[in-house]
A and B are shown apart, each in its own frame.
Chain A
């Protein structure tokens, strides 16, 4: 049953995640935190933060790690397979068909229509994380870390890797 659940938990975000890996993050959270309760919000953040700090596609890293946690190496395989295989098989198997319709307005509408909903899902997650942080470290630390990381990543274009490492260091020293 566990493997079947791992498959479902990553198949659904994979097949609904229009807009690449990031679009499937809140969908994954919905499955692994809310539905199956494999991770707490806090643990999910750790996975997401580390996933962001490491290179490569984000959705597969999360699927691999969470699958591993729930079902060992085979669980990792199932999670990654469920994330990657369906749309890749569609792409290879129905190449001619997909190719024919890639410029169709209906197909283009698919990702356009889904975007606001993905924005809402991401926004709700951002809000949950801010609330979580406010509860655990108070508004001063939260505000400082949020403002500093926004400034560094968005304005000064510092790589997220360094920002995440910095925040880990800040936490180890000031929030321990």
Chain B
């Protein structure tokens, strides 16, 4: 029963979570805290904080971890598969069948029509990341990071992994003054820029 419930809880929140992983968080909360009472609000908050601390998609980390807490390794697998499997299969089926009609003019038109919409979605995401980086680093420092990032990524062709790796290493091992965080980040900006 537990496995079935785990499956149902994460299947429902996965299938209803339009707009990527983050949009399914409140749905997961509803199932895990509200319906099945596997954990209370505070524990759920901890799981969310933990998930945000680590890299990678958030929905799968939450599903895997909550599944593990409720029913061990098997629970982890069940919750994870319920979250990702249905839509991956749907995606593969839809895209493969679309490929068969690839040379039809109306399919080519569809492909062209969707590009600006995706561009807008990415532009909105860009703005959201910029906005939240402004809150963390301040406007000046964010702009500096962005300027340095554009030069390194776009004009010098540095692999983003190297830049992100350097920033992460700096966050972990660089100097840290609790009250003087901004100043510390300026120096780090200069290193990468």
Contact-size category for A: 35 or more
How far, in whole Å, are A24 and B22 apart by their CA atoms in the complex?
Answer: 13
Interface residues of B, count at CB 8 A: 91
Is the beta-carbon distance between B129 and A56 smaller than 8 angstroms?
no
Is the beta-carbon distance between B121 and A57 smaller than 8 angstroms?
no
Is the beta-carbon distance between A56 and B109 smaller than 8 angstroms?
no
How far, in whole Å, are A122 and B58 apart by their CA atoms in the complex?
Answer: 18
- Tell whether A57 pairs with B133 under 8 Å between CB atoms, given A50-B94, A113-B168, A168-B113: no
Is the beta-carbon distance between B80 and A175 smaller than 8 angstroms?
no
What secondary structure prevails in chain B residues at the interface with A? helix
Q: How far does the Cβ of A17 sit from chain B's closest Cβ, in whole Å? A: 5
How far, in whole Å, are A35 and B155 apart by their CA atoms in the complex?
Answer: 16
B127: nearest chain-A partner, CB-CB: A119
- Tell whether A91 pairs with B87 under 8 Å between CB atoms, given A116-B133, A172-B109, A173-B109: no
Check A33 for interface membership: any CB of B closer than 8 A: no
Check B74 for interface membership: any CB of A closer than 8 A: no
Is the beta-carbon distance between A154 and B129 smaller than 8 angstroms?
no
CB contacts (< 8 Å) of B114 on chain A: these are 45-46, 49, 164, 167-168, 171
Q: Which of B1-9, B33-41, B61-69 contacts A (4 or more CB under 8 A)?
A: B61-69
Sort A-B residue pairs by CB-CB distance and give the 9 closest, nearest first: A171-B113, A116-B145, A64-B88, A129-B119, A176-B109, A87-B56, A120-B149, A112-B136, A115-B133
Give B residues with C-beta under 8 Å from A: 14-22, 24, 46, 49-61, 64-65, 68, 76, 80, 83-84, 86-88, 90-92, 94-95, 98, 105-126, 129-130, 132-133, 136-137, 142, 145-146, 149-150, 153-154, 159-161, 163-165, 167-168, 170-172, 176, 178, 181, 185, 188
